[in-house]
Amino acid sequence: MPENVLESQPETGVSGGSTTPIIRVENLHKTYDLGEVQVHALRGISLDILPGEFVAIMGASGSGKSTFMNLAGCLDRATRGRYFLEGQDVSTFSKRQLAHIRNRKIGFVFQGFNLLPRTSAVENVELPLIYGGVAHEERVARAREALRIVGLAGREDHHPSQLSGGQQQRVAIARALINNPSLVLADEPTGNLDSRTSVEIMEIFQRLSKERNLTILLVTHEPDIARYANRVVLFRDGKVRRDEPVEDRADAADVLKTLPVIDEDEEEES
C-alpha cells in the first residue's frame, strides 16, 4: 500500500537525526470486539515523533485519531503492534505500570478542560504530583510555578467556576506540565473556545514547544488550528493517510497582535 511507504519514513517533519524518538509506533492495530461485530479502529499505524515536535493529528470522526491518542496516552493497549515511549516498549505494560507512565511522562489537555469542580486552580494543578508521591510544600510550589508559566499568576485560589473557558484550559495545561512530561497530548483543546482564546492557547503551546522543546500531540479538526503545528498527520479509516510538515506555519504571537483585544478579566468577573 502506498501509504505504508510514506509512513515508514521517520524523518518527516523537523530534523531529528539520531535522537531517540519520543514516540515510535510500529504497525499498531486496535480492534474493538463488540460481540458479533469487530471494529477495526486502527489498521497498522507506524509513526515516529521526535523530541520537540508539535504534531497536529487530523481526521474525520471514526478515522482512528482518538483511538491513536488513547494508545499514545497509555490509557489503552493496542491489540497488535508495538509502542515505544522514549525508547521503552510500553505495549506490554500492566495497568499499574501504564498509570505510572501517565503520571511521569504524559500530560493531558482535554476539550472539556476536565478540571475538578469546587477545587482551586492550585489543587487541580498539583493533582498528578499527589499520585507521584510528592510532598505537599513542593506540590504547591511547583503548581504555582506552572500556573505562572501559563499566565495565571494571582489566580491560584480561584475555582473553575470563577474562571473563563480560556483560563480553565490554561489551568489544564499547567496540570499537564506539572510533572515535566516528555509528551503533552491535547485532544481538541480549542474545541470549546472562541477564536481569540483558541489562538492564545496555541500561543502557549508554541511557546512551550520552542522554549522547552516540549513534544506536543494535538488532535484537531480545524485546519486553522493545525497551522500552528509544525507537522500534520492525517488519519483516515484507521491508517495514516498523509504525514507532512506545515509549510506556512502560523505564529500565534503574531496572529494575536492582529486580533481585537478583549479584556478577559473584566468579562469573567462580571
Partner 1 sequence: MDLQAVIRVALRALARNKMRTALTMLGIIIGVGAVICTVAIGEGASNQVQEQIRNLGDNIVFVAAGSVSQGGVRMGSAATKTLTVADAKAIQQQIPMIARVSPGVGSRVQVVYGNQNWNTRVSGVGPEFLEIRRWPVANGSAFSDHEVEAAANVCLLGPTVVENLFGSEDPVNQTVRIQNLPFRVIGVLASKGQSPFGQDEDDTILMPFTTVQKKISGIDWLQFVMCSAISPEAINPARQQIAGLLRQRHRLRPNEDDDFIIRSPMDLANAQAQAGKIMTLLLASIASVSLLVGGIGIMNIMLVSVTERTREIGVRMAVGATEEDVQMQFLSEAMVLSLFGGSAGVLFGVGASIGVSSMLQWPTRIPPLAIVIAVLFSAGVGIFFGYYPARKAARLDPIEALRYE
Q: Which residues of the chain form contacts with partner 1 (CB under 8 A)?
A: 70, 73, 75-76, 95-96, 99-100, 102-104, 108, 110, 114-116, 118-119, 127-128, 130-133, 136, 175, 179
Given the complex with partner 1, which of 103 and 164 has the nearer CB atom? Answer: 103
Q: How far apart are the first and last CA of the chain?
A: 57
Find the helix or strand (DSSP H, E) in which 183 lies. Answer: strand 183-187
- C-alpha cell of residue 38: 469487530
Q: Which is nearer to partner 1, 16 or 64 (CB)?
A: 64
CB of 206 to partner 1, least distance (A): 24
Torsions phi, psi for 58 (to 5 deg):
-120, 165
| For partner 1, the closer CB: 84 or 110 | 110
Closer to partner 1 by CB, 50 or 78: give it.
Answer: 78
Kindly state the smallest distance separating residue 13's Cβ from partner 1, in Å. Answer: 26
Q: How far is the CB of 84 from partner 1 (least distance, A)?
A: 20
What's the min distance (Å) between Cβ of 57 and partner 1? 16
Under DSSP, the state recorded for 260 is P
Residues 6+ apart with CB under 8 A from 99: 131
CA angle 207/149/24 to nearest 5° reads: 50
